[in-house]
Amino acid sequence: MRYDGLTQAQVDERVKKHQINITSDDISKTKKEIIREHTLTFRSIRAFYRTD
């Protein structure tokens, strides 16, 4: 199965009609945020302080 992209003429036509994908939302996270979210969970903190 082969997929072909748009031709330059098709791109120009869509841009002219403002049919483009633009987002103003910044949805990316920093490496620090990702590490903190995945390592500093309630369960990991509880296990760290566990004294069994």
pLDDT by 10s per residue, the chain, length 52:
787 899 999 999 999 999 998 877 777 888 998 888 888 788 877 887 876 6
| Token reading at 6 | 């748009």
- pLDDT for residue 42: 80
Residues 6+ apart with CB under 8 A from 37: 29
- pLDDT for residue 26: 73
- pLDDT for residue 44: 78
- pLDDT for residue 52: 64
